[in-house]
Structure formats: C-alpha cells, structure tokens
Amino acid sequence: MRRAITLLFALVLLGGAPVAAQPPSPQAPASLAEAERGGGEWTEYQNVQDGFKVNFPGQPRITETTWMSEYGYTLPARVYSATRGSERYSVTVVDYAPIEPQGVERARKCPAGAETCLGSDLGGDGHWKHDTRGAIVFAVSKFLERDAKVTRYNWGHQDLVEGHLLQLTNRDGSRTFGFVGMHEMKLYILEGTVPAGAPEPGLFQQSMGWIDRNGNGIRYQTIYANQFHGLKQMPPPARAGGGRGRGAGPSGAPYQP
C-alpha cells in the first residue's frame, strides 16, 4: 500500500494523471488481500505421478495413507497438504486402480449365492464397478457428515473433468471450499479452509487441473466422466490442449481400452 501511495504521488508531481480504474476481476479481492497480508508464496504445483496441478502456498507435504471405499475396499492414497498461517489446503488422491483385483478376490471367496459380495455383470466382481461409480458421491458424503453448514453444493467441472463443488461454514466460523472429482481411475478430494472473515479459498478451488505422464496439461473438448471414460465404457473425449482457456484443435489421443 505504501508503494502504491508513493507511485501516485510521483505521478502527481510529474503532471500525469492516473489511469482510470478497470472493473475488478472476480479474482481481484482475494488476490489483493493475500498480497497485503503476506504469507506463503502461491505457485502452481504439478505432480506427474498423480496427474494433477493446483496452486499451493509453497511446496506441499506428501503423506502416504489409505482410503476405505464405500464397499469396504482399502485403496492407496496420498495427501498433499500445505498451510499458510491458520489457513489449510490439501488435495487427497485415491488410486482406484487396485479395486478391480480386490473385487475379483472378494467374489472368489464369497459364499455361493451371496450376491452382496459376488457382484454382477453390471456391477463387476464384488461390485467394484458400482463402488467406483459412486466414489465421488461417497467422498462428498464425508463433507456432509461434518459439524458444518453447507452453504453451496453443486455439480461442476475443473478443466472439463466433472466433479462436485462444496462450500461450508464450520462451527468456528471458518470457511471450507471443496472439489471432488475423478480422472483416469483416481479420486481427487480438494479442500481449502480459511478463518472467519478471511478471503474465501475460491482461487484454490478453481486452480485444479490435470497433466499427463509427460507433464503436459490436459483439457478435453467436452465433459470427461470417469464412470464412463475411466471404466472404459466409452472412449475419452478428444483433448483440446493444456490451457485453462477454450481448446482449439480437433485432434486427440487415440483410445486404447
């Protein structure tokens, strides 16, 4: 703020007039407030292994863990977390690739006629396909079980990968923004929480994106839905480039089931 006042004073001395202010972008309030109060430097973090990119306040800490799916399968997961003062940011990535062999093994040991663990053609052995189809809703249910008021919950997408978006007010007045999506058989649970009265973590929520094994950004030409494309029910949409803007190009990677 001191530098801004100094610059304005210099313009006056030089006889110039400041340029008329432009209408603020939706990002401006949060960006300005973050700059004024200092803290960790926001940078785009990319992780090729788990196929995502997101803005973090500094380098995140990585924690290996497991995730219990809705149907009771134990799946490997990683939590990428960072703090900025009393603010907390995290992305949890759950790998659903091992769920199919676990379902096959469950069905193999299942008593004869026990449909609940045998599965079906539609649901897969041990219902692993149904478990995968419901992974986003199941993860969202964990937010809904909290001692917090949901102020917004809607379908959406990040770079055309579908997911669910949430906003919550916690008991202490802090605000939590979340996004839950699924891409290429990995479940992504993004969560940002800031103290009461602080700028809401919308920029963090909106910064989620996807990268391929070579570190190139992914943006599809239409909606990607893991329950169809990740489960190989249909080819994934053609890719339109890695930017967050509108894609420009019909070519896409060939589908390989």
Judge whether 31 lies within some domain: no
- Comparing C-alpha atoms, which of 225, 201, 224, 242 is closest to residue 90? 201
Other beta carbons within 10 angstroms of residue 230's beta carbon come to: 20
H helices, E strands: number in the chain: 7, 13
Look at residue 64 and tell me if it is in a domain: yes
Q: Is residue 82 part of a domain?
A: yes
Any bridge partners for residue 181, and if so which? Answer: 163, 188
Rounded to the nearest 5 degrees, what angle is found at the Cα of 37, between the Cα atoms of 36 and 41? 90
Residue 218: per-residue pLDDT: 95
Residue where the block lists tokens 């609940």: 116
Domain that holds residue 158: 44-97+135-218
Report pTM.
0.79
Cα separations in angstroms, 194 against 34, 170, 197, 202: 12, 10, 8, 10
CA-to-CA distance for 222 and 250, rounded, in angstroms? 11
Return the number of other C-beta atoms located less than 10 Å from residue 2's C-beta: 6
Residue 194 backbone dihedrals phi, psi, to 5 degrees: -125, 155
Q: How far apart are CA 50 and CA 53, in angstroms?
A: 9
Asked if residue 81 lies in contact with residue 88, where contact means CB atoms within 8 angstroms, the answer is: yes
Does residue 195 lie within any of the structural domains?
A: yes
The CATH number assigned to the domain holding 73 equals 3.40.1000.10
- In a domain, residue 80? The reply is yes
Strands 61-68 and 74-84: antiparallel
- Asked if residue 111 is part of any domain, the answer here is no
Q: What share of the chain in percent tops pLDDT 90?
A: 73
Burial 57-75, CB ≥16 within 10 A → b, else e: beebeeeeeebebbbebeb
Q: Please give the average pLDDT of every successive group of 10 residues along the chain, which has 257 residues.
A: 39 35 35 42 96 97 98 98 97 98 95 84 95 98 98 96 98 98 98 97 95 94 97 94 37 36
Q: What is the pLDDT of residues 153-187, one digit of tens each?
A: 999 999 999 999 999 999 999 999 999 999 999 99
From residue 44, how far is each of 143, 162, 201, 205, 209 by CA, in Å?
Answer: 26, 21, 15, 13, 10
In a domain, 152, yes or no: yes
Is 7 within the bounds of a domain?
no
Q: What is the pLDDT of residues 205-221, one digit of tens each?
A: 999 999 999 999 999 99
The tally of domains found in the chain comes to 1
